[in-house]
Amino acid sequence: MKKILSIMLTLVLIFSLAACGGSDQSGGDTTAENAEKSEESGDSSSEDGTVEITYATWGMETEMQEMVDLYNASQNQVHVTLQVTPLSEYGTLMNEVLGTEEGPDVLWAGLQTRLWGNAGMLAELQDKVTEDQMDLSVFMEYPLKQNYVGDTLYGIPCYTDSYAICYNKAVFDKYGVEYPKEGWNWNDYEALAEELNSKIKAEGGNEFASALAINEPAHGTLLLLTCNGAKLYNEDVTACALNVPESVEMLEMVQRMVESGAQADYDTLVETNAASLFLSGLAGMIIICPDPGANGLFEGTSVKETLDYIAFPNGPTSGTNYIDTVTMNNIVINSGTTKFDAAWDFVKWYTTNQEALDAYAKIEWHLPTNVNAFDAWEASHDYAEVYVEEADKVVTVWDVPLCNYSCLGQISPNLIPVFNGEISAEEGLANLESAINELITAELNK
Protein backbone atom coordinates (compact mmCIF):
# COMPACT_ATOMS: atom_id res chain seq x y z
CA MET A 1 0.00 0.00 0.00
CA LYS A 2 2.89 2.34 0.82
CA LYS A 3 4.38 1.81 -2.64
CA ILE A 4 1.03 2.52 -4.30
CA LEU A 5 0.57 5.70 -2.26
CA SER A 6 4.14 6.78 -3.01
CA ILE A 7 3.64 6.60 -6.77
CA MET A 8 0.20 8.20 -6.62
CA LEU A 9 1.22 11.06 -4.34
CA THR A 10 4.21 11.92 -6.47
CA LEU A 11 1.86 12.20 -9.45
CA VAL A 12 -0.51 14.32 -7.38
CA LEU A 13 2.24 16.82 -6.60
CA ILE A 14 3.59 17.02 -10.14
CA PHE A 15 0.15 17.31 -11.77
CA SER A 16 -1.29 19.90 -9.38
CA LEU A 17 1.76 22.18 -9.51
CA ALA A 18 2.71 21.96 -13.16
CA ALA A 19 -0.14 24.18 -14.24
CA CYS A 20 0.30 26.74 -13.65
CA GLY A 21 5.74 37.10 11.91
CA GLY A 22 5.61 39.31 14.66
CA SER A 23 3.01 39.76 17.37
CA ASP A 24 -0.27 37.94 16.85
CA GLN A 25 -2.95 40.43 15.90
CA SER A 26 -5.65 37.97 14.89
CA GLY A 27 -5.68 34.88 17.05
CA GLY A 28 -3.90 35.73 20.29
CA ASP A 29 -0.40 34.67 21.39
CA THR A 30 -0.54 31.03 22.48
CA THR A 31 3.20 30.31 22.25
CA ALA A 32 3.88 30.20 25.97
CA GLU A 33 0.74 28.17 26.65
CA ASN A 34 1.61 25.67 23.94
CA ALA A 35 5.19 25.42 25.15
CA GLU A 36 3.86 24.28 28.55
CA LYS A 37 1.65 21.72 26.81
CA SER A 38 4.66 20.59 24.79
CA GLU A 39 6.44 19.57 27.98
CA GLU A 40 3.39 17.55 29.03
CA SER A 41 3.13 15.84 25.65
CA GLY A 42 6.83 14.98 25.51
CA ASP A 43 8.00 17.69 23.11
CA SER A 44 11.82 17.57 23.05
CA SER A 45 13.65 20.81 23.75
CA SER A 46 17.14 22.21 23.38
CA GLU A 47 19.29 23.04 26.37
CA ASP A 48 17.75 26.51 26.66
CA GLY A 49 14.24 25.06 26.69
CA THR A 50 13.41 25.91 23.07
CA VAL A 51 11.41 23.24 21.25
CA GLU A 52 13.04 22.34 17.93
CA ILE A 53 10.74 21.45 15.02
CA THR A 54 11.20 20.93 11.29
CA TYR A 55 9.14 22.35 8.42
CA ALA A 56 9.28 20.59 5.04
CA THR A 57 8.45 22.08 1.63
CA TRP A 58 9.10 21.19 -2.02
CA GLY A 59 10.14 24.65 -3.19
CA MET A 60 10.36 28.41 -2.57
CA GLU A 61 13.39 27.91 -0.32
CA THR A 62 14.33 31.59 -0.06
CA GLU A 63 10.76 32.74 0.54
CA MET A 64 9.96 30.02 3.08
CA GLN A 65 13.18 30.76 4.96
CA GLU A 66 11.95 34.33 5.30
CA MET A 67 8.75 33.03 6.90
CA VAL A 68 10.68 30.72 9.21
CA ASP A 69 13.04 33.53 10.25
CA LEU A 70 10.09 35.80 10.94
CA TYR A 71 8.45 33.21 13.16
CA ASN A 72 11.65 32.37 15.02
CA ALA A 73 12.24 36.07 15.70
CA SER A 74 8.69 36.55 16.98
CA GLN A 75 9.10 34.32 20.05
CA ASN A 76 11.68 32.22 21.90
CA GLN A 77 9.71 29.09 22.80
CA VAL A 78 9.87 27.24 19.46
CA HIS A 79 12.60 27.14 16.80
CA VAL A 80 11.79 26.01 13.26
CA THR A 81 14.29 24.59 10.79
CA LEU A 82 13.35 24.52 7.11
CA GLN A 83 13.81 21.35 5.04
CA VAL A 84 13.42 21.58 1.25
CA THR A 85 13.05 18.45 -0.87
CA PRO A 86 12.84 18.57 -4.69
CA LEU A 87 9.30 18.15 -5.97
CA SER A 88 10.24 15.00 -7.87
CA GLU A 89 11.25 13.31 -4.60
CA TYR A 90 8.84 14.93 -2.15
CA GLY A 91 5.84 12.62 -2.41
CA THR A 92 7.93 9.46 -2.23
CA LEU A 93 9.89 10.69 0.79
CA MET A 94 6.85 11.89 2.71
CA ASN A 95 5.01 8.66 2.06
CA GLU A 96 7.90 6.80 3.71
CA VAL A 97 8.34 9.01 6.79
CA LEU A 98 4.92 10.47 7.60
CA GLY A 99 3.32 8.84 10.61
CA THR A 100 6.74 8.30 12.18
CA GLU A 101 9.14 10.38 14.27
CA GLU A 102 11.57 10.42 11.31
CA GLY A 103 9.20 12.67 9.36
CA PRO A 104 9.09 16.48 9.51
CA ASP A 105 6.86 17.97 12.18
CA VAL A 106 5.13 20.41 9.81
CA LEU A 107 4.94 20.19 6.03
CA TRP A 108 3.32 21.27 2.79
CA ALA A 109 0.60 19.13 1.24
CA GLY A 110 -1.56 19.64 -1.83
CA LEU A 111 -4.37 17.45 -3.13
CA GLN A 112 -2.79 14.56 -1.25
CA THR A 113 -3.88 16.08 2.10
CA ARG A 114 -7.04 13.96 2.18
CA LEU A 115 -5.16 10.83 1.09
CA TRP A 116 -2.49 11.23 3.75
CA GLY A 117 -5.09 12.14 6.36
CA ASN A 118 -7.28 9.17 5.52
CA ALA A 119 -4.22 6.92 5.80
CA GLY A 120 -3.52 8.14 9.36
CA MET A 121 -0.32 9.92 8.32
CA LEU A 122 -1.44 13.42 9.39
CA ALA A 123 -2.47 14.77 12.77
CA GLU A 124 -6.09 15.76 13.35
CA LEU A 125 -6.45 19.49 13.96
CA GLN A 126 -10.11 20.12 14.85
CA ASP A 127 -9.61 19.83 18.63
CA LYS A 128 -6.91 22.53 18.58
CA VAL A 129 -9.02 24.74 16.33
CA THR A 130 -11.88 24.46 18.81
CA GLU A 131 -9.68 24.86 21.87
CA ASP A 132 -8.01 27.99 20.50
CA GLN A 133 -11.29 29.34 19.08
CA MET A 134 -9.63 29.68 15.69
CA ASP A 135 -11.96 31.36 13.20
CA LEU A 136 -12.07 29.15 10.11
CA SER A 137 -14.55 31.47 8.39
CA VAL A 138 -11.64 33.65 7.25
CA PHE A 139 -10.57 30.90 4.81
CA MET A 140 -11.99 30.46 1.32
CA GLU A 141 -14.72 27.82 1.37
CA TYR A 142 -13.49 25.16 -1.04
CA PRO A 143 -9.77 25.24 -0.22
CA LEU A 144 -10.78 24.72 3.42
CA LYS A 145 -13.09 21.82 2.48
CA GLN A 146 -10.19 20.11 0.76
CA ASN A 147 -8.58 19.59 4.18
CA TYR A 148 -11.44 17.53 5.62
CA VAL A 149 -12.15 13.83 5.52
CA GLY A 150 -15.71 13.67 6.78
CA ASP A 151 -15.72 15.91 9.86
CA THR A 152 -12.00 15.47 10.54
CA LEU A 153 -9.71 18.40 9.74
CA TYR A 154 -6.16 17.54 8.66
CA GLY A 155 -4.74 20.81 7.32
CA ILE A 156 -5.10 24.57 6.97
CA PRO A 157 -5.14 26.04 3.44
CA CYS A 158 -2.41 28.48 2.40
CA TYR A 159 -2.93 29.21 -1.29
CA THR A 160 -4.95 28.15 -4.30
CA ASP A 161 -5.30 29.21 -7.92
CA SER A 162 -7.83 31.35 -9.68
CA TYR A 163 -8.12 32.31 -13.32
CA ALA A 164 -8.76 35.41 -15.39
CA ILE A 165 -8.60 36.43 -19.02
CA CYS A 166 -5.46 38.28 -19.99
CA TYR A 167 -5.78 40.32 -23.19
CA ASN A 168 -3.31 42.23 -25.31
CA LYS A 169 -4.61 45.73 -25.89
CA ALA A 170 -2.14 46.20 -28.74
CA VAL A 171 -3.87 43.49 -30.79
CA PHE A 172 -7.29 45.01 -30.17
CA ASP A 173 -6.02 48.51 -30.97
CA LYS A 174 -4.31 47.33 -34.15
CA TYR A 175 -7.60 46.10 -35.57
CA GLY A 176 -9.90 48.72 -34.05
CA VAL A 177 -11.84 46.37 -31.77
CA GLU A 178 -13.08 47.42 -28.33
CA TYR A 179 -11.64 45.75 -25.26
CA PRO A 180 -13.60 43.15 -23.25
CA LYS A 181 -16.11 44.63 -20.81
CA GLU A 182 -16.73 43.69 -17.19
CA GLY A 183 -19.71 41.45 -16.52
CA TRP A 184 -19.27 39.54 -19.76
CA ASN A 185 -20.13 35.89 -20.39
CA TRP A 186 -18.77 33.27 -22.76
CA ASN A 187 -21.22 34.28 -25.47
CA ASP A 188 -19.68 37.75 -25.30
CA TYR A 189 -16.20 36.18 -25.41
CA GLU A 190 -17.05 34.26 -28.57
CA ALA A 191 -18.64 37.28 -30.24
CA LEU A 192 -15.62 39.44 -29.41
CA ALA A 193 -13.19 36.78 -30.63
CA GLU A 194 -15.10 36.42 -33.91
CA GLU A 195 -15.21 40.20 -34.40
CA LEU A 196 -11.47 40.43 -33.83
CA ASN A 197 -10.87 37.42 -36.07
CA SER A 198 -12.82 38.92 -38.94
CA LYS A 199 -10.76 42.12 -38.73
CA ILE A 200 -7.50 40.13 -38.59
CA LYS A 201 -8.48 38.15 -41.68
CA ALA A 202 -9.63 41.24 -43.55
CA GLU A 203 -6.26 42.91 -43.02
CA GLY A 204 -4.17 39.80 -43.67
CA GLY A 205 -2.97 39.42 -40.08
CA ASN A 206 -1.67 36.23 -38.57
CA GLU A 207 -2.84 36.57 -34.96
CA PHE A 208 -5.34 34.33 -33.19
CA ALA A 209 -8.09 36.26 -31.45
CA SER A 210 -8.27 33.54 -28.77
CA ALA A 211 -5.77 30.99 -27.47
CA LEU A 212 -7.70 29.10 -24.80
CA ALA A 213 -5.41 26.28 -23.63
CA ILE A 214 -7.49 23.37 -24.92
CA ASN A 215 -4.29 21.29 -25.05
CA GLU A 216 -4.01 21.35 -21.24
CA PRO A 217 -6.52 18.98 -19.56
CA ALA A 218 -6.68 20.40 -16.01
CA HIS A 219 -5.80 24.05 -16.51
CA GLY A 220 -7.52 24.44 -19.85
CA THR A 221 -10.21 22.00 -20.98
CA LEU A 222 -11.52 21.03 -17.54
CA LEU A 223 -11.66 24.69 -16.60
CA LEU A 224 -13.84 25.43 -19.63
CA LEU A 225 -16.14 22.47 -18.99
CA THR A 226 -16.75 23.32 -15.35
CA CYS A 227 -16.97 27.11 -15.56
CA ASN A 228 -20.52 26.80 -16.88
CA GLY A 229 -21.67 24.75 -13.90
CA ALA A 230 -20.68 21.17 -14.75
CA LYS A 231 -18.88 19.07 -12.15
CA LEU A 232 -16.02 16.65 -12.66
CA TYR A 233 -17.59 13.96 -10.45
CA ASN A 234 -21.02 13.31 -9.01
CA GLU A 235 -21.72 14.07 -5.34
CA ASP A 236 -20.61 10.70 -3.97
CA VAL A 237 -17.62 10.51 -6.36
CA THR A 238 -18.76 7.28 -8.02
CA ALA A 239 -19.04 8.55 -11.61
CA CYS A 240 -18.06 11.29 -14.03
CA ALA A 241 -20.51 14.23 -14.08
CA LEU A 242 -19.16 16.17 -17.08
CA ASN A 243 -21.57 14.76 -19.68
CA VAL A 244 -24.22 17.47 -19.29
CA PRO A 245 -25.69 20.18 -21.57
CA GLU A 246 -23.55 22.87 -19.90
CA SER A 247 -20.39 21.08 -21.05
CA VAL A 248 -21.80 20.57 -24.53
CA GLU A 249 -22.44 24.29 -24.74
CA MET A 250 -18.82 25.15 -23.95
CA LEU A 251 -17.33 22.53 -26.29
CA GLU A 252 -19.50 23.65 -29.18
CA MET A 253 -18.37 27.23 -28.59
CA VAL A 254 -14.75 26.12 -28.88
CA GLN A 255 -15.57 24.05 -31.98
CA ARG A 256 -17.09 27.07 -33.71
CA MET A 257 -14.14 29.31 -32.89
CA VAL A 258 -11.59 26.73 -34.04
CA GLU A 259 -13.48 26.24 -37.29
CA SER A 260 -13.57 29.98 -38.00
CA GLY A 261 -9.93 30.44 -37.04
CA ALA A 262 -10.72 32.71 -34.10
CA GLN A 263 -9.37 30.13 -31.63
CA ALA A 264 -5.96 28.49 -31.92
CA ASP A 265 -6.42 24.83 -32.84
CA TYR A 266 -5.15 21.92 -30.77
CA ASP A 267 -2.12 21.13 -32.95
CA THR A 268 -0.98 24.76 -32.92
CA LEU A 269 -1.19 24.88 -29.13
CA VAL A 270 0.81 21.67 -28.77
CA GLU A 271 3.52 23.17 -30.99
CA THR A 272 3.41 26.66 -29.44
CA ASN A 273 1.56 26.95 -26.13
CA ALA A 274 -0.93 29.69 -25.40
CA ALA A 275 1.44 31.77 -23.27
CA SER A 276 4.10 31.71 -25.99
CA LEU A 277 1.59 32.82 -28.61
CA PHE A 278 0.57 35.67 -26.32
CA LEU A 279 4.17 36.70 -25.60
CA SER A 280 4.83 36.78 -29.34
CA GLY A 281 1.91 39.11 -29.91
CA LEU A 282 0.08 36.35 -31.80
CA ALA A 283 -2.90 35.94 -29.46
CA GLY A 284 -5.46 38.49 -28.38
CA MET A 285 -6.81 36.65 -25.32
CA ILE A 286 -5.61 33.81 -23.10
CA ILE A 287 -6.45 32.30 -19.72
CA ILE A 288 -3.91 33.10 -17.03
CA CYS A 289 -3.59 32.18 -13.35
CA PRO A 290 -1.81 34.20 -10.65
CA ASP A 291 1.33 32.09 -10.40
CA PRO A 292 4.78 32.86 -11.82
CA GLY A 293 3.14 32.88 -15.25
CA ALA A 294 1.30 36.05 -14.30
CA ASN A 295 3.99 37.48 -12.06
CA GLY A 296 7.18 36.86 -14.00
CA LEU A 297 6.39 35.51 -17.45
CA PHE A 298 5.72 38.92 -18.97
CA GLU A 299 8.60 40.80 -17.34
CA GLY A 300 10.97 42.32 -19.88
CA THR A 301 8.63 41.71 -22.82
CA SER A 302 6.79 44.21 -25.00
CA VAL A 303 3.50 42.56 -24.02
CA LYS A 304 4.00 43.66 -20.40
CA GLU A 305 3.14 47.25 -21.34
CA THR A 306 0.03 46.41 -23.37
CA LEU A 307 -1.67 43.60 -21.44
CA ASP A 308 -4.58 43.85 -19.05
CA TYR A 309 -6.68 41.46 -16.96
CA ILE A 310 -10.43 40.97 -16.79
CA ALA A 311 -12.58 38.61 -14.75
CA PHE A 312 -13.34 35.16 -16.11
CA PRO A 313 -16.52 35.27 -18.27
CA ASN A 314 -19.77 34.04 -16.74
CA GLY A 315 -21.17 30.76 -17.97
CA PRO A 316 -23.89 31.34 -20.60
CA THR A 317 -26.20 28.86 -18.84
CA SER A 318 -25.05 29.05 -15.22
CA GLY A 319 -24.94 32.85 -15.16
CA THR A 320 -21.83 32.81 -12.98
CA ASN A 321 -18.21 31.84 -13.40
CA TYR A 322 -17.24 28.75 -11.46
CA ILE A 323 -13.46 28.52 -11.41
CA ASP A 324 -12.31 24.95 -10.79
CA THR A 325 -8.68 24.40 -9.94
CA VAL A 326 -6.49 21.48 -8.90
CA THR A 327 -3.75 23.75 -7.54
CA MET A 328 -3.61 24.28 -3.81
CA ASN A 329 -1.21 24.27 -0.90
CA ASN A 330 -2.03 23.30 2.67
CA ILE A 331 0.07 23.24 5.81
CA VAL A 332 -0.27 20.02 7.83
CA ILE A 333 1.25 18.24 10.83
CA ASN A 334 2.83 14.81 10.79
CA SER A 335 0.84 12.37 12.93
CA GLY A 336 4.13 10.88 14.11
CA THR A 337 5.49 14.08 15.63
CA THR A 338 6.26 14.14 19.34
CA LYS A 339 6.13 17.95 19.25
CA PHE A 340 2.54 18.51 18.25
CA ASP A 341 1.87 21.64 20.32
CA ALA A 342 4.96 23.40 19.05
CA ALA A 343 4.04 22.36 15.52
CA TRP A 344 0.50 23.65 15.98
CA ASP A 345 1.80 26.98 17.28
CA PHE A 346 3.76 27.44 14.06
CA VAL A 347 0.81 26.37 11.88
CA LYS A 348 -1.56 28.75 13.65
CA TRP A 349 0.89 31.64 13.43
CA TYR A 350 1.58 30.91 9.75
CA THR A 351 -2.10 30.87 8.77
CA THR A 352 -3.73 33.47 11.05
CA ASN A 353 -1.18 35.95 12.45
CA GLN A 354 -1.63 39.20 10.53
CA GLU A 355 2.07 39.98 10.29
CA ALA A 356 2.67 36.48 8.94
CA LEU A 357 -0.20 36.84 6.47
CA ASP A 358 1.15 40.15 5.20
CA ALA A 359 4.66 38.74 4.79
CA TYR A 360 3.34 35.65 3.03
CA ALA A 361 1.18 37.73 0.69
CA LYS A 362 4.21 39.66 -0.52
CA ILE A 363 6.19 36.57 -1.48
CA GLU A 364 3.42 34.26 -2.75
CA TRP A 365 2.30 34.42 -6.41
CA HIS A 366 -0.82 32.31 -5.95
CA LEU A 367 -4.07 33.50 -4.40
CA PRO A 368 -3.88 33.34 -0.57
CA THR A 369 -6.76 31.45 1.01
CA ASN A 370 -7.09 33.61 4.14
CA VAL A 371 -9.14 36.66 3.17
CA ASN A 372 -7.18 38.74 5.68
CA ALA A 373 -4.18 38.41 3.35
CA PHE A 374 -6.01 39.80 0.31
CA ASP A 375 -5.18 43.48 0.89
CA ALA A 376 -1.45 42.83 1.23
CA TRP A 377 -1.46 40.43 -1.73
CA GLU A 378 -3.28 42.92 -3.93
CA ALA A 379 -0.88 45.69 -2.92
CA SER A 380 2.14 43.52 -3.68
CA HIS A 381 1.27 42.20 -7.17
CA ASP A 382 0.13 44.31 -10.09
CA TYR A 383 -2.13 41.56 -11.44
CA ALA A 384 -3.87 40.67 -8.16
CA GLU A 385 -6.99 42.85 -8.18
CA VAL A 386 -9.05 40.79 -10.62
CA TYR A 387 -8.27 37.54 -8.78
CA VAL A 388 -9.29 38.99 -5.42
CA GLU A 389 -12.56 40.19 -6.92
CA GLU A 390 -13.30 36.67 -8.18
CA ALA A 391 -12.03 34.76 -5.12
CA ASP A 392 -15.49 33.67 -4.02
CA LYS A 393 -15.95 31.87 -7.36
CA VAL A 394 -13.03 29.47 -6.86
CA VAL A 395 -14.06 25.83 -6.50
CA THR A 396 -11.16 23.48 -5.81
CA VAL A 397 -11.50 19.93 -7.08
CA TRP A 398 -11.31 18.61 -3.55
CA ASP A 399 -13.40 15.43 -3.34
CA VAL A 400 -11.76 13.00 -5.75
CA PRO A 401 -11.26 9.24 -6.20
CA LEU A 402 -7.79 7.79 -5.77
CA CYS A 403 -7.63 7.40 -9.55
CA ASN A 404 -8.26 11.15 -10.08
CA TYR A 405 -5.15 11.76 -12.13
CA SER A 406 -5.80 8.80 -14.36
CA CYS A 407 -9.28 10.26 -14.87
CA LEU A 408 -7.89 13.68 -15.77
CA GLY A 409 -5.60 11.92 -18.21
CA GLN A 410 -8.66 10.84 -20.20
CA ILE A 411 -9.75 14.39 -21.02
CA SER A 412 -7.46 15.18 -23.93
CA PRO A 413 -7.60 11.80 -25.75
CA ASN A 414 -11.39 11.84 -25.73
CA LEU A 415 -11.93 15.52 -26.54
CA ILE A 416 -9.23 16.20 -29.13
CA PRO A 417 -11.55 14.78 -31.84
CA VAL A 418 -14.20 17.26 -30.69
CA PHE A 419 -11.84 20.23 -30.98
CA ASN A 420 -10.75 18.99 -34.40
CA GLY A 421 -14.37 18.78 -35.58
CA GLU A 422 -14.20 15.03 -36.12
CA ILE A 423 -16.99 14.10 -33.67
CA SER A 424 -19.76 15.96 -31.88
CA ALA A 425 -19.46 17.39 -28.39
CA GLU A 426 -22.07 14.89 -27.20
CA GLU A 427 -20.08 11.94 -28.55
CA GLY A 428 -16.81 13.18 -27.07
CA LEU A 429 -18.36 13.71 -23.64
CA ALA A 430 -19.99 10.27 -23.77
CA ASN A 431 -16.61 8.73 -24.56
CA LEU A 432 -14.98 10.69 -21.76
CA GLU A 433 -17.69 9.70 -19.30
CA SER A 434 -17.29 6.04 -20.21
CA ALA A 435 -13.50 6.13 -19.84
CA ILE A 436 -13.59 7.85 -16.45
CA ASN A 437 -16.39 5.65 -15.12
CA GLU A 438 -14.43 2.55 -16.09
CA LEU A 439 -11.48 3.77 -14.01
CA ILE A 440 -13.65 4.65 -11.00
CA THR A 441 -15.52 1.34 -11.16
CA ALA A 442 -12.24 -0.57 -11.24
CA GLU A 443 -11.05 1.35 -8.19
CA LEU A 444 -14.29 0.80 -6.26
CA ASN A 445 -14.17 -2.93 -7.01
CA LYS A 446 -10.64 -3.41 -5.70
Same domain (yes/no): 384, 431:
no
Kind and range of the H or E element at 307? strand 307-311
Same domain (yes/no): 140, 238:
no
CB count within 10 Å of CB 420 equals 14
Q: In this structure, what CATH number is given to the domain that contains residue 382? A: 3.40.190.10
Number of domains in the chain: 2
Task: Tell me if 401 is assigned to some domain.
Answer: no
Same domain (yes/no): 137, 187:
no
Containing structural domain, residue 171: 164-324+410-444
- In this predicted structure, what is the pLDDT of residue 31? 38
Is the pLDDT reported for residue 22 higher than 60? no
Tens of pLDDT, residue by residue over 410-434, are 999 999 999 999 999 999 999 999 9
Same domain (yes/no): 251, 222:
yes
The candidate with the shortest Cα–Cα distance to 144, out of 132, 126, 127, 131, is 126
Tens of pLDDT, residue by residue over 357-371, are 999 999 988 889 999
CB count within 10 Å of CB 316 equals 18
Angle subtended at Cα 131 by Cα 128 and Cα 137, rounded to the nearest 5 degrees: 80
Task: Tell me if 402 is assigned to some domain.
Answer: no
Task: Tell me if 100 is assigned to some domain.
Answer: yes
| Residue partners of 364: CB distance under 8 A and separation at least 6 | 63, 158, 159, 377
Same domain (yes/no): 377, 427:
no
- In this predicted structure, what is the pLDDT of residue 132? 97
- In this predicted structure, what is the pLDDT of residue 251? 97
Residue 51 CA: distances (Å) to CA of 30, 149, 343: 14, 30, 9
Of 118-127, 231-240, 412-421, the one with minimum mean pLDDT is: 231-240
Report the pLDDT averaged over residues 230-242: 89
| Residue partners of 204: CB distance under 8 A and separation at least 6 | none
Task: Tell me if 404 is assigned to some domain.
Answer: no
